[in-house]
């Protein structure tokens, strides 16, 4: 059986990222990461505005000011 967990908080999820209750203590070290619905809002709030320096460092000046 494949185990899944949220890549942001580590909570137990199903393969689609829906939060589930799980009481098994073994196997979580090898669980596959999902985009957990438990942290969907937190992940979208973590965007970063690319500064001019960041764009130059990435050798792509056209991304200056973009949100990533």
pLDDT, tens only, 23-68? 666 777 788 988 888 887 765 555 677 888 888 888 888 888 877 6
| pTM score | 0.54
CA Rg value for the chain = 17
Whole-angstrom CA distances from 60 to 47, 50, 63, 65, 67 are 18, 11, 6, 12, 14
Cβ-count burial 3-28 (b if 16+ within 10 Å, e if not):
bbbbbbeebbbeeebeeeebeeeeee
- 51 within domain boundaries: yes
The pLDDT of 6-27, averaged and rounded, is 84
pLDDT of residue 49: 79
Taking the C-alpha atoms of residue 47 and residue 39, their distance in angstroms, rounded to an integer, is 14
Could you give the number of structural domains in the chain?
1
- 23 within domain boundaries: yes
Residue 22 has pLDDT above 60, yes or no: yes
- 28 within domain boundaries: yes
- 68 within domain boundaries: no
- Domain of residue 48 covers 4-63
- 31 within domain boundaries: yes
pLDDT of residue 43: 58
């Amino acid at each position: 059986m494949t185990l899944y967990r949220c890549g942001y908080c580590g909570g137990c999820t199903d393969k689609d990222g829906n939060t589930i209750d799980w009481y098994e203590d073994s196997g979580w070290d090898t669980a596959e990461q999902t985009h957990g619905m438990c942290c969907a809002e937190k992940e979208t709030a973590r965007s970063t505005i690319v500064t001019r320096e960041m764009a130059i460092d990435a050798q792509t000046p056209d991304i200056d000011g973009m949100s990533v």
